[in-house]
């Protein structure tokens, strides 16, 4: 376990998140589902809008500061870029976000949030992905003419630096297990831009903690998502000079529903169960679909009897900004 801490010392951290986040048993849901269900409250990371993105920003902002960046730039209006706007303001960065489409189509609450933190929004009008990427590069090149140091933020904060946030989270899971003598046989979480799952897999490999880590896909089919997770986990493992076991990449794509950022019937049901049984609010875009997966696995006895299952609540603001 100590080896994770040793590796993390080499990377600067902005200390945005209030960690470790609480881990506790969901007693009523456990009784309802017939398994020992625990939750890691990463919706309570305590900075900006909270959630898993702040763990990633801990290391991304730390890296940007170390590299003496002046400007942060990223793509699309998302939970990550909204939290990045807060972090940028706190640390004195100029923040630019490039958004596909036109301004009036952008969620008003999201627009107001960016405005509150002084982020510069650039709308491309054209939503075509190729044209959007071209426009993004044009804006990056234009900003570079200012002679300021530009730091590009990957979507979702999912690069090898951002993935360190969930390597750190796995250390916390490990420490909780040792302190409370509770081993988690399975961990379940939403998987989207892949940084969360990549970090957890590497934490698992480094600490030799035996758990069935299941990513519930929120946007991509399993075959595509697994390749994306492999690429990021492999990139991060090379940076850290550690080995990872590809067989640990597990993705279930049965709970995407109608599509990304569109609520599903199973997800809506999970929201009701978590809120009405435990007072835990889920997000329709991410955590509701992950919780739907958890409920399905339990109701279909896909866990072993007496298993301890950890649900990682990665936040998401209940879809308010989408």
Cα distances (Å, whole numbers) of residue 86 to 13, 19, 98, 166, 205: 16, 18, 16, 20, 33
Residue 318 — very low, low, confident or very high, per pLDDT cuts 50/70/90? low
CB atoms within 10 A of CB 25: 14
Please say whether the beta carbons of 73 and 98 come within 8 A: yes
Query: What's the distance, Cα to Cα, between the start and end of the chain in Å?
Result: 38
Q: In percent, how much of the chain has pLDDT > 90?
A: 94
pLDDT in tens, 155-181: 999 999 999 999 999 999 999 999 999
Q: What is the pLDDT of residue 126?
A: 86
How high is the pLDDT of residue 35? 97
Q: Do domains 2-51+159-319 and 53-157 have the same CATH topology?
A: yes
Which tokens belong to 234? 């492999």
Dihedral (Cα; 246, 41, 92, 71), 10-degree rounding: 30
**pLDDT tens sequence across 111-131:** 999 999 999 999 998 889 999
Residue 140 near residue 176 (C-beta atoms within 8 A): no
- The rounded distance, in Å, linking the Cα atoms of 74 and 100 is 12
What topology does CATH give the domain 53-157? Rossmann fold (3.40.50)
| pLDDT score, position 1 | 47
In this model, does residue 292 exceed pLDDT 50? yes
Residue 2 pLDDT > 60:
no
* Average pLDDT score over residue span 94-120: 96
Domain 2-51+159-319 listed as CATH 1.10.3720.10: no
Q: What is the pLDDT of residue 17?
A: 97
pLDDT in tens, 186-223: 999 999 999 999 999 999 999 999 999 999 999 999 99
Above 70 in pLDDT, residue 136?
yes
Find out whether 296 and 30 touch, Cβ atoms under 8 Å.
Answer: no
- State the chain's mean pLDDT as an integer: 96
Strands 36-41, 23-25: pairing kind: antiparallel
Ordered by start, the domain boundaries in the chain are 2-51+159-319, 53-157
The residues that bridge with 310 in the sheet, in sequence order, are 38, 187
Q: What is the CA radius of gyration of the chain?
A: 19
38-42, 115-119, 276-280, 315-319: least confidently modelled range: 315-319
- List the one residue out of 205, 209, 199, 203 whose CA is nearest residue 178: 209
What span, in angstroms and rounded, lies between the C-alpha atoms of 77 and 240?
Answer: 30
Distance CA 8, CA 291 (A): 30
Q: Please say whether the beta carbons of 205 and 236 come within 8 A.
A: no
Distance CA 275, CA 272 (A): 5
Between CA 164 and CA 145 the distance in angstroms is 32
Output the CA–CA distances (angstroms, integers) from residue 207 to 4, 106, 167, in the order listed: 7, 43, 10
Q: How many other CB atoms are there within 10 angstroms of residue 105's CB atom?
A: 11
């Amino acid at each position: 376990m100590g080896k994770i801490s040793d590796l993390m010392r080499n990377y600067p951290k902005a200390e945005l998140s209030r960690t470790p986040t609480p881990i506790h048993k969901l007693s009523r849901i456990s009784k309802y589902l017939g398994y020992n269900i625990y939750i890691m409250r990463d919706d309570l990371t305590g900075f900006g809008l909270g959630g898993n993105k702040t763990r990633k920003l801990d290391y991304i902002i730390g890296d940007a500061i170390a590299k003496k960046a002046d400007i942060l730039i990223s793509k699309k209006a998302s939970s990550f870029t909204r939290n990045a706007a807060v972090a940028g303001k706190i640390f004195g960065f100029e923040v630019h976000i490039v958004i596909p489409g036109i301004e009036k189509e952008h969620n008003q609450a999201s627009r107001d949030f960016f405005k509150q933190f002084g982020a510069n929004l650039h709308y491309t009008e054209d939503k075509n992905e190729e044209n959007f990427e071209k426009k993004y590069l044009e804006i990056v090149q234009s900003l570079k003419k200012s002679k300021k140091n530009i730091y590009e933020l990957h979507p979702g904060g999912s690069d090898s630096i951002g993935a360190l946030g969930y390597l750190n989270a796995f250390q916390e899971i490990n420490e909780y297990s040792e302190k409370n003598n509770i081993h988690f046989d399975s961990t379940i979480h939403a998987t989207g831009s892949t940084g969360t799952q990549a970090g957890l897999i590497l934490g698992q490999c480094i600490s030799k903690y035996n758990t069935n880590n299941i990513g519930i896909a929120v946007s991509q089919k399993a075959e595509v998502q697994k390749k994306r997770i492999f690429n990021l986990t492999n990139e991060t493992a090379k940076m850290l000079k550690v080995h990872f076991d590809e067989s640990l990449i597990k993705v279930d794509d049965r709970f995407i529903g109608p599509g990304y950022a569109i609520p599903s019937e199973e997800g809506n049901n999970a929201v009701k169960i978590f809120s009405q049984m435990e007072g835990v609010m889920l997000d329709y875009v991410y955590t509701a679909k992950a919780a739907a997966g958890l409920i399905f696995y339990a109701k279909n006895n896909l866990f072993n009897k007496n298993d301890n299952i950890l649900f990682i609540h990665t936040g998401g603001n209940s879809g308010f900004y989408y």
